[in-house]
Chains A and B, each alone.
Chain A
Amino acid sequence: MNRRSGQVQSRRQLLTVTLRYAALGLLGTAGASVIARRRRLVREGKCINDGVCRGCYVLGTCGLPQALSAKEVLTGLDDGRK
């Protein structure tokens, strides 16, 4: 009985350790992909701060700094410059 419960315990431990390092790997991959994406967006000349302005219908007439920055990038995209 003791031997059996010991086996169950060690199987459980193995599963826990596997899951732990799998989760750690997943978190590491998520972090690395975020850094890679930021670099890609900067390289492509895209506005990495456009979450605020996207979909806003007053963007055309808005004079806030973030909107001006977003418009600059969007105009560049429309002209085919970037």
Chain B
Amino acid sequence: MIRFVYIIVGMAVLLLSSGIASGFERFPPPDFESGYEQPSPTTPNPRQDIYEYIDAFVLLAVLSLASYLVLRKRRRRLIFVLSILSLFYFGFWREGCVCPIGAIQNVALSIFDSDYAVPITVMIFFLLPLVFTLFFGRIFCAAVCPLGAIQDVVLLRPTSVPEWLESGLRLFAYVYLAAAVLFAATGSAFIICRYDPFISFFRLSGDFNMLILGVCFLFVGMFIGRPYCRFACPYGIIMRQLSRISKWRVAITPDDCIKCRLCEDSCPFGAIRAPTEDWSPQDYNKNKKLLVVLILLLPVLVFSCGWIGFALRPVTSRMHATVRLADGIYLEETGQAQETTDTSSAFRATGKEVQDLYAEALDIQAEFGLGGWIFGGFVGLVIALKLIVLSLRRQRTDYEAGRAGCLACGRCFEYCPKEHTKRKLAKETIDKS
């Protein structure tokens, strides 16, 4: 039996190593006669397609296991162990690529560019966690996302963040999502990948500034639970909305809530909602007036933010390589820049007309104008809806995990006395039998 296991493990190791080796050879570097030195890559080396499908299968398996652990087994320790395994596999072994967060940009580019096709595995990575969220809540955040896991590991002394501040800071994630979609849709840049604060840790290389940003996030994460997930993650924003309509979700207690308040401060992410108090008729009338004002304010906010997005097009369009090149060429042509750059020299070597380049840059800037309206309008809509939601009356009779904010980490399970009673009963039943 042991020999059989050794044979299986040996064959698996051989299969994996041969696949990685042939992945390297897929793109042999060309030989240059000019003495050009190949730069060392900062992104993971290409792999065989079959290994990308294996990654997708691992994602499916981990999501399924995490759903079982969160919703049926209800054990924080097991969820944490699974998240550490995910951190090592998707983070350090796969070097954070492909990740569903970055896949947002591929999907956005494919929607706006008919000549771009998203790799199927990237699409699987984008869709699978969302489908799981629709049924089981934010399982991906709980035990699969390596970015979440690395922040969970450093969480030492969680401090609660006031709800108004949390809501305000979360607006950044919406702006980041809108900006990521805008820049990806215009073919300018994949900013989520470029400004990923933890990728330097996973790849043990990368931009020094991003390394510093990652260290800052981890330092803040020691006192404020998962700051990137809560205030910056664009994929988390999509999952927040989908988890509102999920079929099953985390329940703090396996039984009826006895309102013992032991779980009240157990969530480091501020996702536990306390029972609401009844409103007085005066409060109710006051709030009704506020709601009417906010609804009237909605189109104003959408329009004004849209206009700001449009007005920012000279700045935002500079993210596009063609616009930057056109700017550089213009400065050189008008004598405002004395030295040429590699990019401008390469452009001149193509023999293309400068006027054509300027026209192309203007077209791109016009695209950014339209995109700016949509980007700004979306941000305005989010702000307006947030204000409306904050002024709506909520009715809760039990302590419950917030539908959108709960990361399904399972910390609150351990605080519920009903949970302990249930486990004790289950253990006694097993002992008796």
Interface residues of A (CB under 8 A from B): 16, 19-20, 23-24, 27, 30-31, 34-35, 37-38, 41, 46, 48, 50-51, 54-58, 60-61, 63-66
Contact = CB atoms under 8 A, between A and B. Distances in A.
Contacts of B246: 20
Contacts of A64: 27, 29-30
Contact of B322 (A35, A51, A55, A60): A55
B303 to A, nearest CB: 27
B28 A65 contact: yes
A27 B127 CA distance: 7
B350 A34 contact: no
A38 B117 contact: yes
B220 to A, nearest CB: 33
B115 A57 contact: no
Interface of B: 27-30, 32, 107, 109-110, 114-118, 120, 123, 127, 130-131, 134, 187, 242, 245-247, 321-322, 325, 343, 346-347, 349-350
Contacts of B350: 57, 60
Contacts of B346: 57-58, 61
12 contacts: A20-B134, A23-B245, A24-B134, A37-B117, A38-B117, A38-B118, A41-B117, A51-B109, A55-B187, A55-B321, A63-B32, A65-B30
Given A20-B134, A60-B349, A31 B30 contact: no
A30 B225 CA distance: 33
A54 B364 CA distance: 14
B245 A19 contact: yes
Contacts of A56: 321
Nearest to A64: B30
B328 to A, nearest CB: 11
Contacts, number: 65
B115 A41 contact: yes
B30 A54 contact: no
Given A20-B134, A24-B131, A41-B115, A57 B120 contact: no
A12 B280 CA distance: 25
Given A31-B123, A46-B115, 19 more contacts: A16-B245, A23-B134, A23-B245, A24-B131, A24-B134, A27-B127, A30-B107, A31-B127, A34-B118, A38-B118, A50-B116, A51-B109, A54-B187, A55-B321, A57-B325, A57-B346, A57-B347, A61-B346, A64-B30
B27 A65 contact: yes
Contact of A20 (B117, B245, B347): B245
Contacts of A31: 123, 127
Contacts of B29: 64
A63 B245 CA distance: 50
A16 B249 CA distance: 13
